[in-house]
Structures are given as C-alpha cells and as structure tokens.
Amino acid sequence: MGKPRSVCTAPGKIILLGEHSVVFGKPAVALAIDRYMTCTVSESDDFLLNGHRASLKKNPHLSRIMDVHGLKGLAVNTDSTVPPSSGLGSSAALSVSFSGAVRTLLGLDASPESMARDGFDAEYYSQGRASPIDSSVSAQGGGVGINCPAELCEPLWRVERDGRVWDVSSVKTPEMTLVVGNTGIKAATGPLVEKVRKYKERNRFASDIVDEMGSLAEAGLRHMSRGDLVSLGACMTQNHKLLSILGVSCPELNKLVKAALPHSFGAKLTGSGGGGSMVALTDSPGAVCDAIRKRGGEPHVVTAGVAGASARFL
C-alpha cells in the first residue's frame, strides 16, 4: 500500500476593482474564475517538486506553508491552467491549493478560512507586502469583497497584519461575461506593490489616487449589487486610468484595454500590472476576443464566480 496522498484544487481570479489600493486597506472586489491550480502531496524525507528534488528557497510560497506546519520534506505535484505572473492569481491559487492539500494530509481543518489565511501568510512572506484578496477569493470562490459596506455583503473573516485591517466578505455577483486578454508579459507582483508603496509615501497625489480607487471600488460594488453592468463597466475603465497614472500599467496592457473598450461596458488591467492580463466586461465576447487578438493579446472568455478550493484524500 502506497503513502497517503491528498489533493486540493483552487481557482484563479480576476480583480474587478481595487488592486493596489486594497494593500492599504481600501475596498476591492474580486471574482474566482474557471482557471485552476491543483496540488497533490504525500510524505517524503526530501522536498520533491513534480518528481524532482527542488530548492525550498526557490519556492517561498510552499516553503512558508511547510514551515508553519513543521514539515521538512514533502512530495508535491502541481498542475495548473492559471498562467504564471499573469495577474490571474497563480501564486495565491498555488498557496491555497498547497495549504488545502497539506492540511488534509495532516488531518487539520481545511476550511476556506484556514486555507485563505495560510495563503495570505505565504503571499505576504514571499512578496514582502500583500492583501488577502487573492487568497480569499481562491479559497472561498464566488465573489469576494474587501472592506465593503455591510449592507452589500456577507461577512466571512477579518485579517490583520502590520496595522492594516481587511474585512473579507462574500458578495453576490450578477450574471456577466468577462474576457481576459493576456499580454504574454510576465511581471512579478512584489516589485510593483513596492513601487506603489514608495510613490504613495512620498507623493500626496499618489495617496489621493489610492483613496479614489477605494471609493471607486465601493461605487462599483453598489452598481454590481443592482446588476447595473453599464455603470460597473464605467468604474472599471476609470480604475484602469488611475492605475495607469500610478505607473503600474504598460503600453501592451493599454493597447488591449483600448481595443476592447468599443465592444465592452468597461475594461482594465487585472492584478499587479506591469504586464500580465486585462479584463473586459462585455455582452459581445466574440468581438472583444477578435479585437484583443488583432492587438497581439491572447483572449479567453472566462466563467466568473466559480466554486472555491476543494481538498480531499486520493
């Protein structure tokens, strides 16, 4: 009889509104999408990744979770349809799915909250600064709001770190069609988050932009709760303009957003920026896909609001 194995699958995400500003405790809204990371784990004396000995130092998200749970070795296999460094939450999906698999193997609680907290801790440890939005929506699924008005959401849990407080809630999302356009440019999250932090600290204008993005996310959530996709899309487009002013967009992202807008309610980058992906809210997905493709992007129609992470023994 072989060693016990456990597996966990967690979805990626798109951020509708509020990336970067959410790091500073401002409101934000994210949706789980049908792109997935699956981690399978079993006991091992060494750290094995996809059948090969690997360096824990080069895999900080995994090593952090192993440390927290007192593990020195583990055999880990990963399988993903979430493109890495694309703004679609690949590192959070990895952290959450790994947490769920490890917790199941050890006979520990593998609830959405426990996986989300492990995932956030791993993200924070690896990037130096983060918010819990990616890990929370990957673990919980559906739609997740951060620091949103109580009348628009159902409270889930609270996360506190370094003086910041994030109230995590579930939010109802209307039926909507989203198209993701990937630039193919990989951009690490940590340096971009740090860039915004430094800009905000030394520039009052940047601080005002962060505040405005938080207000925009709250307004967008109100529009979403009423099913007003036209107004929600307008908030998305304005959010992209503010992110561009902060310097986290790039010409390739701007080009794809501009191409999508004539066929969309709104469009914006999603994630930390610097490359990666944009997302368009539309009722003409075919036209948006064609426009993105003509500008050199890789389009995908995604299903949003999918179920969150799920762990089990094999």
Tokens of 28: 């934000």
The half-sphere exposure of 140 on its side-chain side, counting CA atoms within 13 A, is 26
Q: Is the pLDDT of residue 168 over 80?
A: yes
Of 205, 189, 203, 175, nearest to 22 by C-alpha is 189
Residue-averaged pLDDT of the chain: 95
Residues in the chain, total: 314
Residue of 13, 6, 181 lying closest to 82 (CA atoms): 13
- Whether residues 14 and 143 fall in one domain: yes
Contact 253, 296 (CB under 8 A): no
179-194 mean pLDDT: 90
Considering the domain architecture, whether residues 309 and 258 belong to the same structural domain is answered as no
Mean pLDDT over residues 29-49, rounded? 97
Element housing 60 (H / E): helix 60-68
Helices 204-225, 229-246: axis angle to 10 degrees equals: 160
Beta strands in 241-294 (DSSP E): 266-270, 277-282
Same domain, 90 and 141: yes
Please check the confidence at residue 229 and state whether its pLDDT lies above 90: yes
pLDDT at 264: 98
Give the bridge partners for 75, in sequence order: 42, 48
Question: Could you give the CA distance from residue 40 to residue 97 in angstroms, rounded to a whole number?
Answer: 9
DSSP one-letter string for 95-134:
HHHHHHHHHHHTT----HHHHHHHHHHHHHHHHSS--SHH
| Residue range of the domain that includes 275 | 177-302
Q: Are residues 98 and 157 in the same domain?
A: yes
Given a cut of 90, whether residue 190 has pLDDT beyond it is no
β-pairing verdict for 177-182 and 74-80: unpaired
Q: In whole angstroms, give the CA distance from residue 185 to residue 180.
A: 14
User: In this structure, which amino acid lies at residue 105?
Assistant: L
Residue 85: the pLDDT is 87
Average pLDDT over residues 222-235: 97
- The mean pLDDT value for 168-187 works out to 95
User: Are 109 and 188 members of one domain?
Assistant: no
Separation in Å, CA 19 to CA 10, 50, 79, 225: 20, 32, 26, 20
Judged against a pLDDT cut of 80, whether residue 2 lies above it is answered with no
Give the CATH number, domain containing residue 193.
3.30.70.890
More confident residue, 288 or 130: 288
Question: What pLDDT shows up at residue 1?
Answer: 55
Share of the chain above pLDDT 90, in %: 91
Distance in angstroms (rounded) separating the CA atoms of residues 106 and 109 = 9
Alpha-carbon separation of residue 9 from 50, 111, 175, 204 (angstroms):
16, 13, 24, 42
Q: Which residues of 199-253 form beta strands (DSSP E)?
A: none
pLDDT digits (tens, 9 = 90+) for 77-91: 999 999 998 999 999
Please check whether residues 85 and 189 belong to one and the same domain. no
Q: Name the residue with tokens 């979770």.
A: 65
Q: Which two tokens stand for residue 78?
A: 């990963």
pLDDT of 30 above 90: yes
What's the CATH code of the domain at 68? Answer: 3.30.230.10
| Average pLDDT score over residue span 214-234 | 97
Judge if 161 and 184 occupy the same domain. no
Residue 307: partners with Cβ closer than 8 Å, 6 or more residues away? 11, 32, 141, 142
Residue 81 Ramachandran class (φ > 0 left, ψ -120 to 50 alpha, else beta): alpha
Examine the domain organization and report whether 166 and 103 are in the same domain: yes
Overall domain count for the chain: 2
Per-residue confidence band for 28, with pLDDT thresholds at 50, 70 and 90: very high
Average pLDDT rounded to a whole number, residues 14-28 = 95
pLDDT at residue 210 greater than cutoff 70:
yes
Same domain, 96 and 226: no
Neighbouring residues of 96: CB distance < 8 A, sequence distance ≥ 6:
8, 10, 37, 115, 116, 118, 119, 135, 138, 139, 309
> What's the mean pLDDT in 179-193?
91
Q: Just list the catalytic residues.
A: 134
d(Cα 80, Cα 229) in Å, to the nearest integer? 31
Claim: this prediction has a pTM higher than 0.85:
yes
Is 63 found in the same domain as 212?
no
Q: List, in order, residues 6 or more apart from 150 with CB less than 8 Å away.
A: none
Instruction: Tell me what the mean pLDDT of segment 299-306 comes to.
Output: 96
- Same domain flag for 249 and 189: yes
Residue 102 CA to residue 109 CA, distance in Å, equals 10
pLDDT higher than threshold 60 for residue 238: yes
Least confident of 7-16, 39-48, 124-133, 298-307: 124-133
